Amino acid sequence: MKMMTLVSFWLCLVLSACNSEDSSSPAQSASNSATETVANSTQDTQQAIASPSHMNGTNEQNKGDKTGPIHLHGTINFSGGGEVTLYETEGKNTFEVAKTRLANQSFDFGMLEVSRGFYQLSLNGETNSTNIILNPDEPELFIQFNSNRLSANRTAPDSNENSGWFAYSTQDFNAQREIKNLRKSIKDAGAFQSRIEAQIKEQEQELIATQHELIQANPGTYLAKWLSWLNPQYPDSKGRFFEDIDPLDNSAIRSMALSDRIQKMMRSFSGGTDSGFLGCIDLVKAHFEPNPKALESVLYTMLDGFYNTGKETICQYILDNYIFDEDCGADLSDAIRIRAQGIINLQVGKTPPNFNIARFDGGNLDLMATCKQNEYTLVMFWASWCHKCEQEIPFIGPLYAKYNFKGFEVIGVSLDQQRSTWGAAIETNGMTWPNVSQLKAWNSPVVTEYKVTATPTYFLLDKEGTIVLKPKRHFEVEEFLRGKL
Q: How confident is the model at residue 1 (pLDDT cuts 50, 70, 90)?
A: very low
Specify whether domain 356-482 bears CATH 3.40.30.10.
yes
pLDDT beyond 70 at 17: no
Q: How confident is the model at residue 468 (pLDDT cuts 50, 70, 90)?
A: very high
Between 156 and 327, the higher pLDDT residue: 156
pLDDT beyond 80 at 7: no
Considering only 180-184, 328-332, 344-348, which range has the smallest mean pLDDT?
Answer: 328-332
Q: How confident is the model at residue 45 (pLDDT cuts 50, 70, 90)?
A: low
Considering only 132-141, 194-203, 361-370, which range has the smallest mean pLDDT?
Answer: 194-203
H or E segment to which residue 366 belongs: strand 364-366
> What is the model's pLDDT at position 29?
44
The residues with which 120 forms a beta bridge, in sequence order, are 87, 131
CA Rg, the chain, in Å?
25
> What is the model's pLDDT at position 23?
40
pLDDT beyond 50 at 284: yes
Model pLDDT for residues 57-81, shown as the tens digit of each residue:
999 999 999 999 999 999 999 988 8
Considering only 24-38, 211-225, 271-285, 322-336, which range has the smallest mean pLDDT?
Answer: 24-38
> What is the model's pLDDT at position 44?
59
* Dihedral pair phi/psi, residue 220, rounded to 5°: 80, 5
pLDDT beyond 50 at 291: yes
With helix as H, strand as E and coil as C, how does 421-477 read? HHHHHHHHCCCCCCEEECCCHHHCHHHHHCCCCCCCEEEEEECCCCEEECCCCHHHH
> What is the model's pLDDT at position 334?
86
Instruction: Please state the rounded mean pLDDT for residues 258-264.
Output: 96
Q: How confident is the model at residue 246 (pLDDT cuts 50, 70, 90)?
A: very high
Between 355 and 125, the higher pLDDT residue: 355
Q: How confident is the model at residue 185 (pLDDT cuts 50, 70, 90)?
A: confident
Q: How confident is the model at residue 234 (pLDDT cuts 50, 70, 90)?
A: very high
pTM score, two decimals? 0.81
CATH architecture, domain 67-159: Sandwich (2.60)
* 3-state SS assignment for residue 388: helix
Burial class from Cβ neighbours inside 10 Å (0-12, 13-18, 19+) for residue 181 reads exposed
Cis peptide before 136 (omega within 30 of 0): no
> What is the model's pLDDT at position 443?
86
Q: CA triplet 81, 87, 89: central angle to 5 degrees? A: 150
Domain ranges across the chain: 2-49+232-344, 67-159, 356-482
> What is the model's pLDDT at position 329?
64
pLDDT beyond 60 at 35: no
> What is the model's pLDDT at position 46?
57
Q: How confident is the model at residue 330 (pLDDT cuts 50, 70, 90)?
A: low
pLDDT beyond 60 at 397: yes
CA distance 302 to 300: 5
Instruction: Please state the rounded mean pLDDT for residues 11-22.
Output: 37
Instruction: Please state the rounded mean pLDDT for residues 181-207.
Output: 87
pLDDT beyond 50 at 188: yes
Instruction: Please state the rounded mean pLDDT for residues 263-288.
Output: 95
CA distance 55 to 50: 10
CA distance 39 to 30: 14
pLDDT beyond 70 at 8: no
Percent of the residues in the chain that have a pLDDT greater than 90, as a whole number? 76
Model pLDDT for residues 298-328, shown as the tens digit of each residue:
999 999 999 988 898 999 999 999 998 876 7
